[in-house]
Structure 1
Amino acid sequence: MINDDFYKNSFILTLSNLSTAILRFLFSVVLSRELGSEGLGLYALIMPVYDLFCCLICGGMVTSLSKETAKYYNKKDYANLMKSVKVSFVFNLIWGLFVTSIFLLLCPFISKHIIQDNRSIYPLLAISPALILVALSSLFKGFFYGTSKVKIPSIIDIFEKALRMIAIIVLMRIINEKSITFTVTITYISLTLGELLSFILLFFYYKHNRQRLSKGIISEEHTRSKILKSILIAAIPLCINGLLTTALSSFSTLILPRRLILAGITYTEALSVIGKFSGMALTIVFFPSFIILSFCTLLIPEISKYIASKDLIGMERRLRQVMEISFYLGMINMIICIVIPNQLGIIFYSRTDIAPYIVFLAVNAPILYLSSCTYSILNGIGLQSKVLINSLISSVLEVVLLFVLLAKPSINIYGYGIAMFISNIISFVMNFYFINRFYKTKFTLKENLIPTLICAICLNISLIIRNYFTFMDILSKTVVIVILGFTSFIFITVHIKKNLN
């Protein structure tokens, strides 16, 4: 039986992701105040383009290299492990320089014809150096995840997010210019500076940890071409999947203002609505997803270890734990957002007009969290082709729904949430079908009775606090309800872990 370090490493990574999520959340608050809702909308239109090129440069490499290094690390085959990192570095460097050059050449075209806002040209140029930095950093992250040294990239992520926030505040104060073009450009310059710091620190700690892997078993050394082929075989389907889904996601984001205009909203108002819906409400609702990200990051190398040791019973138990925990995290988060949407909007963004968006998006949380972890499970058991097909189907469906729903005046921006909800349900159903073919599983009412009761109790107590504790101010009520919610989640997690061990 594999030593159960999964929860220990997940806890470490969750603490890191909590820190980065808080910094990211504070960053979004700073952005909302520095950029305004219109500037935040323009920022949101540029980010998908950056994500698309990041995916083209290094999509699948973190996952693929973490699986490869986990395989060699468990065998103490350090020679092939280090060769995997080196050959991946050279490949990503060459490929990254090529793609970054193409991106620079395409910036004017992207700004004018794709984003269709000439103010985006300077932010696009500002973010271009980050592409090559992300490509190289992804390899070191894959190395650390595969060798179960999750603390290093976790702590570095915290420093990166902190630098980004400090940089944007300092630059905004030094150069007193408040135009949207300038503020959005400064925001993306801060992102590039953060990626530079991340790369430098990851490289330094990689060099330090590499020296500790000098001794290991004597094994048959694989050629560089064979190792690269093995990595790319796993990475390319993930890259294609990420590229297609990111392209569709980018297209979805870019059509938002155009379809909203057809619903009778001006372009400026459309950017403002997008900023409030996706830049503010969505950030609040999906803030706890850092916990799911921790599970998903570690689940793929964890599954590789179970398969290598032929411990299928242990693997099945782990997968059920992750799926149940993901679902109930979404339930607790949904309860909090539905009970105190006004309070969350006021405390974090000083706005009362995003409360309806928070409530509407909160319904997505349980199924979105569950769907996200099923993609990692499929990747871990080697069904990358199914990941590609399923995510492509759900992404196309989301684009079609957005195209139809956003232009309806009675629905407008709410079509974004409807499309997200339906596509995530379809994703989960398709993913679970293939997971269930790999191993038979079932979720009984008896097993889920206690977690469901905890959720119900949490909901009722939260409503009582909101409605009857008149002696408490808004901040105090919010803090108490959030603590209650996540205390409930801890009890649920402990119960699930104990029940399935």
Structure 2
Amino acid sequence: MKKRPNLINFFYLVGSGLIIQFSGSIYRIWLARKVGPESLGILQMVYPVYRLLSGLAALGLPSALTKWVSEYLVVKDYGKIIAIRKWASKVVLISSLITGGLLITFTPCLSNHVFTDPRVRDALFVISLAIPFSALSAIYRGYFQGFSNTAPTAVSELTEQFSEIGTTFLLVGVMAPLLPFSTYAFPLAGLTVGEIVCLISLVLFLKHHTILPGPDMETTVPKPEIIRYSWPLLFNQIITSVSLASEGVLIPFMLIYAGYSTPESTRLFGQLTGMAEPVAYFPLILMGPLASVLSPQISSAYKTGSLDTIKRKIGIFYLGGSLLCLIGYFTILLSAAPLARFLYGEAVAVPIRLIKILVLGLPFTGISILNVTFLAAVGATPKILYLSLWVAGLKTFLIYILTPLFGIYGSAWAINIVQIFIAMASLAELRPYLPKSRATALPKLKPRRRFQAEYL
């Protein structure tokens, strides 16, 4: 296995991902029974804000760090690797502290005038403490991925998950009667502890990952180039996060416009995003590790102008990703009913038809993940930003048109159409960067008379 580092990295991420998914599913079921639907509703309001602000605080630098570290590693420019890591860490530390401070400052205004439930105030205060730890963890993960070393990412994700679950279990199950806080604040406190433990795990890996620059090595950081690369990724993340968060407002609103009551629209939205999507897109857990392993190799090969040398490897990654998605597609499509009943039980309205609709977009979603990873690795981040803008506008338009006509199934088809568009559009943007197949020169035919003179 030591001769196959890509396979080792893939299994690191897949193994940790499966453990996290399994433990997370059990955790969510237990949490729903313990804190109730109202507390879960508050958590769902706050969590997209947390992810949005954490990504904003990271400034798009984790992906930039992966790209530049892998490129400097090829030419053994260790001085710049150390310099860029220190610079990115300082910048993100400052930006995350500012972001958390602004959230604390504007929390009273947000809870009273933006959110429909003012009880989100305490929850927003709690997540503001987690933002610096989350942003710095993203920086160190990007740094290690530049070395094609996925073990720190896998281990830190596991420590984060189990610390969050353990802390929440202790607070909700044991200490809740003793503490003067609402139950919805305890899972967010667990999330904060998980982010702290995650960062500690990565720092421990960093201490055992020492590289020493030579005495004459340059340590300047190409800040303008990094900023030009990272700002489209930052805006892409903002657009994506806002788009996902807006679904929780737009889809229920359009269902109410179509004639559904408020409780019915909330229930249907929960079936779509909380029950059908996790089942239909579960195989995508394997696409993230594939993309993480592929990204630094493409970056280093593109930097040295040697993409042709890894053309076969790129093809294998795409073939493997396509096969994984197709196997997942047919498995879920053919077993949607028993699978959904096994997961959610007979007492819950099982969205079997929604699962069968959403799974149609699974292969396209998997390929688009690899396409966007390829574009980021070669530095085409403005193209990713343009795609995100198109996707946000197209999804909003389709949900606005299809949901009143076909109900929640119209929303599902809108999501499918968007996934197909992303796959096709990203592939079109990717084509100029793909290694060109070299034409094989055919042997020239000799003139007929000369041929006859030689062989007759």
- Alignment CA distance shift 1:275-1:282 (3 Å): same
Write the letter of the residue equivalent to 1:437.
Answer: P
2:267 maps to 1:265: no
Pairing of 1:119-158 with structure 2 (within 5 A): 119-158=119-158
Point out 4+ residue stretches in structure 1 off by more than 6 angstroms: none
Counterparts in 2 of 1:24 and 1:354: CA distance versus 1, 3 Å: same
Deviation digits for residues 54-93 of structure 1 (CA, Å, limit 9, x no counterpart): 2211142221101111122233322221111111111111
1:330 aligns with 2:325: yes
Q: CA deviation at 1:183?
A: 4.0
SS of 2:374's partner is helix
Q: 1:374-393 to 2 correspondence within 5 Å?
A: 374-393=371-390
Q: Which one has the largest radius of gyration?
A: 2
**Residues 230 and 381, structure 2, Cα contact 8 Å, conserved in 1:** no
Q: Look up the match of 1:85.
A: 85
Residues 312-321 or 362-371, more deviating: 312-321
List aligned pairs for 1:190-339, cutoff 5 A: 190-210=190-210, 213-214=211-212, 216-217=213-214, 219-223=216-220, 226-339=221-334
Deviations along 1:104-152, one digit per CA (max 9) or x if unpaired, are: 2222333344332223222222211111111111111111111222112
Aligned amino acid, residue 401 of structure 1:
L
Residue type of the partner of 2:72?
Y
* Alpha-carbon distance in structure 2 between the residues aligned to 1:441 and 1:294: 26
Q: CA deviation at 1:241?
A: 1.5
Contact kept, 8 Å, 2:344 with 2:350, in 1: the verdict is no
Distance in 1, matches of 2:88 and 2:29, equals: 37
SS in 1 for 2:424: helix
Where 2:218 maps in the other structure, the secondary structure is coil
Q: Judging changes above 3 Å, is the alpha-carbon distance between structure 1 residues 302 and 37 closer, same or farther for their aligned structure 2 residues?
A: farther
Q: Which moved more, 1:190-199 or 1:297-306?
A: 297-306
- The CA distance in 2 between the partners of 1:256 and 1:244, in whole Å, is 18
Q: Kindly tell me the number of residue pairs found equivalent between the two proteins.
A: 430
State the partner residue of 2:447.
Answer: none
Query: 1:344 maps to which residue?
Result: 339
Q: Is the 8 A contact 2:147 2:296 kept in 1?
A: no
Q: Deviations over 1:377-423 (max 9, x none)?
A: 111122111111012101211122223333x2x63322332121111
Tell me if structure 1 keeps the 8 A contact 2:127–2:192.
yes
Classify the secondary structure of the residue corresponding to 1:116: coil
CA distance in 2, matches of 1:415, 1:228: 45
SS in 2 for 1:125: helix
Indicate conservation of the 8 Å contact 1:48/1:253, yes or no.
no
Gaps of 5+ in 1: 443-501
1:69/1:146 contact within 8 Å kept = yes
The alignment status of 1:422 with 2:410, answered yes or no, reads no
Structure 2: distance between partners of 1:174 and 1:217 = 54
| Deviation of the 1:352 alpha carbon | 4.9
- Taking the aligned partners of 2:379 and 2:239, their CA distance within structure 1 comes to 19
Match of 2:365 among 365, 368, 386: 368
Match of 2:452 in 1: none
**Separation in 2 of the partners of 1:76 and 1:232?**
23
- How far the C-alpha of 1:219 sits from its partner, in A, is 4.9
Contact 1:67 1:146 in 2 (8 A): yes
Distance 1:83 1:45, change over 3 A: same
> In the alignment, which residue of structure 1 is the partner of 2:440?
none
Distance 1:348 1:100, change over 3 A: same
Q: How does 1:19-30 map to 2 (within 5 A)?
A: 19-30=19-30
1:121/1:58 CA distance change after superposition, 3 Å: same
Distance 2:267 2:31 in 1: 13
Structure 2 regions of 5+ residues with no counterpart? 438-456
Q: Is the Cα–Cα contact under 8 Å of residues 159 and 201 in structure 2 kept in the other structure?
A: no
Amino acid paired to 1:301: P
Inter-partner Cα distance in structure 2 for 1:120 and 1:256 = 21
Secondary structure of the 1:363 match is helix
Q: Would the aligned equivalents of 2:236 and 2:385 in 1 still touch at CA under 8 Å?
A: yes
User: How far off its partner does 1:96 sit?
Assistant: 1.0
**Equivalent position to 2:396, from 385, 394, 399:** 399
> Does the residue aligned with 1:76 lie in a helix, a strand or coil?
coil
Q: Distance in 2 between matches of 1:59 and 1:272?
A: 36
* CA gap 1:11/1:354 in 2 versus in 1, 3 angstroms: same
| Structure 2 residue identity aligned to 1:364 | G
Q: Secondary structure at the match of 2:219?
A: coil
Secondary structure, in 3 states, of the residue corresponding to 2:30? helix
Q: 44-53 or 286-295, which moves further after superposition?
A: 44-53
CA pair 112-367 structure 1, distance change in 2 beyond 3 A: farther
Q: 1:44 to 1:217 in 2, by over 3 A?
A: same
2:209 is paired with a residue whose SS is: helix
Check the 8 A contact 1:59/1:242 in 2, yes or no.
no
Cα shift at 1:267: 3.2
1:143 and 1:289 map into 2 onto residues whose CA distance is 24
Which residue identity lines up with residue 72 of structure 1 in the other structure?
Y
User: In 1, Cα distance between the equivalents of 2:257 and 2:37?
Assistant: 20
Distance 1:276 1:42, change over 3 A: farther
In structure 2, relative to structure 1, the CA distance for the partners of 1:40 and 1:347 (3 Å cut) is farther
Q: Which residue of 1 aligns with 2:170?
A: 170
Question: Are the counterparts in 2 of residues 330 and 365 from structure 1 also a CA contact under 8 Å?
Answer: yes
RMSD: 2.5
Length-normalised TM-score, structure 1: 0.79
Distance 1:122 1:261 in 2: 30
CA distance in 1, matches of 2:113, 2:259: 22
Q: Please list the CA deviations of residues 333-367 of structure 1 after superposition, one character each: whole Å capped at 9, or x if unmatched.
A: 22222222233233333235233332222222111
Change (3 A) 1:321 1:436: same
SS of residue paired to 1:115: coil
- Judging changes above 3 Å, is the alpha-carbon distance between structure 1 residues 99 and 311 closer, same or farther for their aligned structure 2 residues? same
Structure 2 Cα separation of the partners of residues 110 and 12 of structure 1: 40
Q: Which residue of 1 aligns with 2:450?
A: none
CA 1:44/1:334 → structure 2, altered by over 3 Å: closer, same or farther? farther
